[in-house]
Amino acid sequence: MKFATKTIHAGVSPDPSTGAVMTPIYQTSTYAQDGAGNHKGFEYARTQNPTRNVLQNNLAALENGNYGICFSSGLAATSAVVQMLSSGDEIIASDDLYGGTYRQFVRVFGRFGIKAKFVDMTNLENVSQAISENTKLIWVETPTNPTLNIVDIAAICDIARAKGIKTCVDNTFASPYLQTPLDLGADIVLHSATKYLNGHSDVIHGAIVVKDKAIADELYFLQNAVGAVPAPQDCFLVLRGIKTLHLRVQRACENAEKVAEFLLTHDKIDKVYYPAFKSHKGHEIAKKQMRMFGAMVSFSLKTDTFEAANQVLRKVEYFTCAESLGGVESLIGHPATMTHASIPKEQRHKNGITDSFLRLSVGVEDVEDLIADLKQALDSL
């Protein structure tokens, strides 16, 4: 089955009891048993839910894995992966990680004796050097947020496999339409389904997909034992969103490419960050491991002040100033004061996140409207 068919059909078939074409929302906490222990595969809804099962099977197919495991948020999925580790184990992660993942590794799991080391993964040597006998997990995010660095997934997985270390790729920014890390050697792929998978900015949801049965069994155990499960209504909404994943992401990437090209030509712009550009440091790797270059575009202004950035934010009409990404609507954010405010200024600037740095999540509106909107905002500077 090809990707566009999978989004609609994989794991989904008419409901066996009624023939309902769309997967019903099984809004129940428990299931009738025909005598003690004699049930239809469903006992209690933390453990199993039919709406969730359909979504899990659909996600497994999209990521070319065998097992999907869903959670109440992307960070709940992240914590399940780390809960597979024990005190004394180490994680190596990208140094420009999603802020919530960084916070969880350091401030939550640090308390339980799990140590995280953060390295620039665009240089593979840094990863090899950080490995110790306690390293159990390598955590990759690519493209990274918000400077859109690209990490070579296959190369990292080779390094990890040679040492018996598992690799988890946070595939939120790419979505499985653009990139399937399990095909590149990753053991675990993780999503904040809040973003592209759901795609309509109306659900918080997380997902994991794996190939290996032993890893899946451990994650199903944690899903039930820790209990951060998603509600059936949210599973339904993510399933509905996925039916148009390929259409949305394709259009958003096409729009992003045109927006990025426009920004390059505007005289108020200093730098544009977008992996489709040959000048982008990760361009060749992105070309190798991604189908298109994504719909996130970042840029900085020649007038490198918060006031200039804020003026652009206030002037745009179709780009809503908000956190998050991956919805049908275009968003704009100012990482220095929003998503990355907790990073010390010096470190932020070193990573390129200067005071005028802005991040776009390009949506699926008409691209001429999007470009005209950015143009009037930039012209006002």
Q: Residue 171 CB, nearest distance to ligand PLP (Å)?
A: 9
369 given a catalytic annotation:
no
Q: Please write down the long-range contacts of 340-347, taking CB distance under 8 Å and 24 or more positions apart.
A: 340/99, 340/146, 342/99, 342/103, 343/99
Active site residue 98: yes
Q: Which of 61, 150, 157, 204 binds ligand PLP (CB under 6 A)?
A: 204
Q: How far is the CB of 173 from ligand PLP (least distance, A)?
A: 6
Does residue 206 touch ligand PLP according to CB under 6 A? Answer: yes
Query: What x/- string results for residues 123 through 162 when contact with ligand PLP is judged by CB under 6 A?
Result: ------------------x---x-----------------
In whole angstroms, what separates CA 194 from the centre of its chain? 8
Is 111 a residue of the active site? no
Dihedral through CA 231, CA 167, CA 11, CA 234, nearest 10?
A: 20
Of the residues 79, 104, 142, 192, which one makes contact with ligand PLP according to CB under 6 A: 192
Q: What whole-number distance in Å separates Cα of residue 3 and Cα of residue 64?
A: 10
Which position among 195, 280, 291, 359 is part of the footprint of ligand PLP (CB under 6 A)? Answer: 195
The single residue of 6, 136, 152, 170 carrying the catalytic annotation is 170
Q: Which residues pair with 91 in a beta bridge?
A: 116, 137
- Strand, coil or helix: 302: coil
Nearest-angstrom CA–CA distance, 380 and 374 = 10
Interface pick for ligand PLP out of 53, 73, 311, 330 (rule CB under 6 A): 73
Nearer to ligand PLP, 159 or 238 (CB): 238
Residue length of the chain: 381
The residue from 6, 52, 96, 98 that is catalytic is 98
Q: Please measure the distance between the N-terminal and C-terminal CA atoms of the chain and give it in whole angstroms.
A: 50
Q: In what order do the strands lie in the sheet with 67-71?
A: 67-71, 206-210, 188-192, 166-170, 135-141, 90-94, 115-119
Does 100 participate in binding ligand PLP (rule CB under 6 A)? yes
Quick one: 45 or 197, whose CB is closer to ligand PLP? 197
- Per the annotation, the verdict on 46 as an active-site residue is yes
In angstroms, the CA 284 to CA 371 distance is: 27
Task: Give yes or no for residue 75 binding ligand PLP (CB under 6 A).
Answer: yes
Nearer to ligand PLP, 198 or 354 (CB): 198
Enter the tokens of residue 75: 């960070």
Q: Name the residues annotated as catalytic.
A: 46, 98, 170, 195
Name the site residues for ligand PLP (rule: CB under 6 A).
Answer: 73-75, 98, 100-101, 141, 145, 170, 172-173, 192, 194-195, 204, 206
